[in-house]
A and B are shown apart, each in its own frame.
Chain A
């Protein structure tokens, strides 16, 4: 609803230093960071689905989920390491464990999740150590849900207005998108007759993603503007259309191969657009001093300056 925006957010007057940004925009590159966010989410939700398939005795789906979880974690790690300014020093991430750094918590989570999904996939492929493989699969269900959500905290724990203020909905946006992505991947790699739970996951995840994204844009007001404008706006709109379409198709995709392919691809494309869109919206919101200055100035004018209680 592009028209309503103008009524919701009146043009804000504010002062700045020659219109220059106050913040430094995130320097994370494309496609590395959005690709990592997508693959990490996919792998996380696939891990959770592998565990669920194990517990409910769905062997074929479990195999597909183990492979998807491992593939997502491995490819994601490659993108993450390539994103570093000093890739050779990536092990410095495991030098300390810092609860105040979502990047540190995430690196340990990724390390554990990669290891577990590696064991699970390796055991499935080679048939060796089946018990260890099963245990790793169940454990990857736990690391998986962490993988699919921590990235939202990673973004929100910055000064970037569109991310920080979105701290409530971003985890649901990302976990919904992760569930949809994993559902789509498993739909595409499992015989139709056995892929019922994957289709359900794809549909449910897609709905969660669309709802969380919509709620976030609405609640954020002025700071949500970057999600609606320019390149980020186009990506977010494309994401919504693809995810919604793919999610609806997933409910009937059991009927044919073509429907399955269409649904799975639309959801995957939608999930990727979400990640590129969120990164771009963050950049745009950091680059325009309006989104930094106006909410802070409003706070001061209302006599409610920020403070850090209890520290």
Chain B
């Protein structure tokens, strides 16, 4: 297996140009997601979805703009992959999470399983879609289209270990310069999804950017769920037995 590859998105240098969104759409042939004027900000794609694999969030605050290019997190413990019943979602040799469009039968289970609200089903096509971390480009030895197109190096691509180290250094520098609110999001391998392959440097709480503050991979609790269901199954069997225990008329 090759080294684990990922994204480090440093939102402090994002200028909201959406070059990443456009490059992603062009390279991956992602269909139109509808240009909707949302009357809240410059955001016209709204959220990640089946046809939006990079999404630039615009948060207008007193005296500053926060801009952040969001993407699939390529979780270490990926709920979408765990719950997929067909094996359409799989882990690649780069440790990324990809949907095989020719296997997906559109059951839609991955959609509510993702703790980040990333993956979605295209209703006209019936299948689930999301960022592939440009699997095809990676196999060809190239970097993903969004990282390539980013003019400020807000989106950085590389081996995850290297990125994590670079990110720590960047946070230290920002703190030293007085930007004490700088923090990493998703980089911790001990978090609820075992760390993400795509992580971020943020300047405010994650929820401000539409990110869950403390996500958990739902399958972490699956053994407990099966135990409760097992208890209910036994109770059902016992209930039926009691109902049939009486004398026959």
> Which A residues contact B (CB, under 8 angstroms)?
14-18, 20-28, 45, 48-49, 52-53, 55-58, 83-86, 89-90, 92-93, 95-96, 98, 100-104, 107, 141, 145-146, 148-150, 152-154, 156-160, 163-164, 167-168, 170-172, 174-175, 178-179, 183, 193-194, 196-198, 200-201, 204-205, 208, 282, 286, 289, 292-293, 296-297, 299-300, 305-308, 311
Contact = CB atoms under 8 A, between A and B. Distances in A.
A18 B191 contact: no
A174 B232 contact: yes
22 contacts: A14-B207, A21-B117, A23-B114, A25-B112, A45-B240, A49-B240, A56-B244, A83-B107, A83-B108, A86-B106, A101-B85, A156-B218, A158-B109, A171-B232, A172-B235, A175-B235, A175-B236, A183-B243, A297-B205, A297-B214, A305-B191, A307-B192
Contact of B248 (A17, A57, A90): A57
Contact of A22 (B38, B117, B194): B117
B213 to A, nearest CB: 5
A167 B226 CA distance: 9
B207 A16 contact: yes
State the 6 A-B residue pairs at the shortest beta-carbon distance, nearest first.
Answer: A85-B106, A85-B126, A17-B210, A306-B192, A171-B232, A89-B105
Given A100-B222, A101-B84, A167-B221, A52 B192 contact: no
Majority-rule SS of A interface residues: helix
B112 A56 contact: no
Interface stretch (B16-24, B75-83, B149-157, B170-178): B75-83
Contacts, number: 277
Contact of B239 (A158, A164, A205): A205
Contacts of B41: 18
Contacts of A172: 231-232, 235
Given A48-B237, A308-B194, A149 B229 contact: yes
A154 B108 CA distance: 12
A132 B214 CA distance: 53
A16 B210 contact: yes
A292 to B, nearest CB: 6
B219 interface: yes
A86 B113 contact: no
Contacts of A305: 191-192, 214
A26 B114 CA distance: 11
B21 to A, nearest CB: 16
A175 B235 CA distance: 8
Given A85-B126, A196-B249, A52 B241 contact: yes
Interface in B102-121: 103-109, 111-121
B192 A200 contact: no
Given A16-B210, A17-B57, A167-B221, A93 B105 contact: yes
A194 B190 contact: no
B192 A58 contact: no
B225 A193 contact: no
A85 B249 CA distance: 50
Contact of B213 (A96, A153, A293): A293
Interface residues of B, number: 86
Given A102-B83, A146-B233, A297-B214, 20 more contacts: A23-B115, A28-B108, A52-B241, A84-B106, A86-B106, A89-B104, A104-B86, A149-B232, A150-B229, A153-B226, A159-B115, A164-B221, A198-B243, A201-B239, A293-B213, A296-B215, A297-B205, A300-B213, A300-B214, A308-B194
A141 B125 CA distance: 39
Interface in B168-224: 190-194, 205, 207-222, 224
A146 to B, nearest CB: 6
Contacts of B57: 17
Given A92-B103, A153-B226, A52 B243 contact: yes
A24 B83 contact: no
Contacts of B241: 52
A92 B127 CA distance: 13
Q: Considering residues A57, A149, A168, which has the most beta carbons from chain B within 10 angstroms of its beta carbon?
A: A149
Given A85-B125, A157-B222, A297-B207, A20 B46 contact: yes
B165 interface: no
A97 to B, nearest CB: 9
Task: Give the most central of A27, A168, A204: most B CB within 10 Å.
Answer: A27
B229 A289 contact: no
Nearest to B125: A85
B207 to A, nearest CB: 5
Nearest to B81: A100
A167 B225 contact: yes
A106 to B, nearest CB: 8
B134 interface: no
